[in-house]
Amino acid sequence: MSAIDAEILALMQRVTEKAIMPRFRNLSEGEVEDKGGNDPVTIADKESEALLREGLAAIDPTIGFVGEEVAHTDPAVLDNLGEACWIVDPVDGTRNFAHGKPPFGVIIARADGGLAQSGWLYDCVSGRFCAAHRGKGAFVDGERVTSRSTGKTPPVAAISLIFMEEERRQATRRHISPNYELVDIPFCAAEQYPRLGLGQNDVSIFERTLAWDHAAGALWLEEAGGKVARPDGSAYRVDEWDRKGLLGAANPQLWHELAELYARL
């Protein structure tokens, strides 16, 4: 494990132990809020983000910081996404966490020039640690991994319909869903990307593409040999956070098959 991976892992573990797990299945009334659109936030999200910001500043104070919660209160911080910055989802899978069930995790990415350069995903319950660096491969718990499909026919798909408009949702059900074995989405990007790379899912569709959800996972899957791109084939950029539509697959062939179906929508 590289030195930076060890530092990030230690930070994620500290924050999990201090701010996240003590609140798991232990949230009091008033410690869960709705940011709007069925998008919850808990006291654990806020405390975790503050600790992560402090810890990342100690690692490299020269770059910007974009956290999910600070961006909600001050959208101007999203301007940092075009420059060198840390990108943080303090509790990814808050919906699950607030209901007292896994999966949920912590996501950190380091970006520059609008592209993720490094990414880390930590499962707070199992302790699984995924890391990737552009051009240097993908790792799980320090061991290099290569993306693999399920090998099933039809392929296994996890399709998020949550943020789609109704017309697009119905079109997805007509033109895409019948071609796959559908499985439930985990409501957690820190879980969905590993599923695509570790032989549990073959493809996935994401409608909302916020940087804190996708920067680290997309890089990790690509570095493992999978493919993540916009439906038109263009690369995922963290500074295009408000652009809709992202396809992920265990390998390029599965991605192209999905993209052909998606083009019918």
pLDDT digit of tens for each residue in the chain (265 aa)?
899 999 999 999 999 999 999 999 998 878 878 776 667 889 999 999 999 999 999 999 999 999 999 999 999 999 999 999 999 999 999 999 999 999 999 999 999 999 999 999 999 999 999 999 999 999 999 999 999 999 999 999 998 887 777 888 887 888 899 999 999 999 999 999 999 999 999 999 999 999 999 999 999 999 999 999 999 999 999 999 889 999 999 999 999 999 999 998 8
Look at residue 7 and tell me if it is in a domain: yes
Q: Are residues 184 and 57 in the same domain?
A: no
Look at residue 191 and tell me if it is in a domain: yes
Q: Are residues 85 and 201 in the same domain?
A: no
Residue among 38, 93, 97, 100 at smallest CA distance from 68: 93
Look at residue 151 and tell me if it is in a domain: no
Could you give the CA distance from residue 208 to residue 58 in angstroms, rounded to a whole number? 31
Q: Are residues 252 and 183 in the same domain?
A: yes
Q: Are residues 196 and 132 in the same domain?
A: no
Q: Are residues 193 and 138 in the same domain?
A: no
Burial 50-64 (b: 16+ CB within 10 A, else e): bbbbebbeeeeeebe
Could you give the CA distance from residue 68 to residue 89 in angstroms, rounded to a whole number? 6
Q: Are strands 85-92 and 105-112 parallel, antiparallel or unpaired?
A: antiparallel
Q: Are residues 181 and 241 in the same domain?
A: yes
Integer angstrom CA distances of residue 172 from 3, 22, 78, 166, 181 = 43, 40, 30, 10, 14
Could you give the CA distance from residue 6 to residue 175 in angstroms, rounded to a whole number? 44
Could you give the CA distance from residue 117 to residue 84 in angstroms, rounded to a whole number? 10
Could you give the CA distance from residue 189 to residue 130 in angstroms, rounded to a whole number? 12
pTM, 2 dp: 0.94
For position 33, what pLDDT does the model report?
A: 80
For position 104, what pLDDT does the model report?
A: 98
Look at residue 150 and tell me if it is in a domain: no
Structure tokens at 190: 């820190």
Q: Are residues 199 and 238 in the same domain?
A: yes
Please give the tally of structural domains in the chain: 2
The CATH number linked to 129 is 3.30.540.10
- Residue where a domain stops, chosen among 117, 145, 173: 145
Q: Are residues 12 and 118 in the same domain?
A: yes
For position 25, what pLDDT does the model report?
A: 94
Q: Are strands 85-92 and 64-67 parallel, antiparallel or unpaired?
A: parallel
Q: Are residues 176 and 100 in the same domain?
A: no
Q: Are residues 200 and 93 in the same domain?
A: no
Tell me the residue range of the domain where 23 lies.
3-145
